[in-house]
């Protein structure tokens, strides 16, 4: 849920191909996706703030939570 600004949400298949694109902001404020969906959330506006809700308790990100085709951090 965007609290300030607009965001693009991209869903990917297992090869890294974009399969769906949605803009969150003025007209669409909530997007629900299935667990295990490869996705990225990118801010379209400077100073954007987004609130993400996940089911369950906190789980640290494990190495296998990153797609093999994803770029390395940094």
Query: CB of 22 within 8 A of CB of 9?
Result: yes
What's the start-to-end Cα distance of the chain, in Å?
26
Q: What is the Cα–Cα distance from 54 to 35, expressed in whole angstroms?
A: 9
Alpha carbon of residue 68 to chain centroid: 17
pLDDT over 90, % of the chain: 59
More confident residue, 58 or 48: 48
Segment 17-51, tens digit of pLDDT: 999 999 999 889 999 999 889 999 999 999 999 99
Residue 74, pLDDT > 80, answer no
Q: Domain locations in the chain?
A: 2-65
Q: How does the average pLDDT of the chain come out, rounded?
A: 91
More confident residue, 47 or 58: 47
């Amino acid at each position: 849920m965007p609290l300030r600004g607009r965001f693009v949400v991209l869903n990917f298949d297992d090869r890294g191909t974009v399969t769906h694109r949605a803009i969150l902001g003025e007209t669409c404020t909530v997007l629900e996706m299935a667990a295990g969906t490869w996705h990225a959330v990118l801010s379209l506006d400077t100073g954007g703030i987004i609130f993400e809700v996940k089911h369950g308790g906190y789980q640290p990100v494990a190495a296998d939570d990153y797609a093999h085709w994803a770029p390395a951090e940094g």
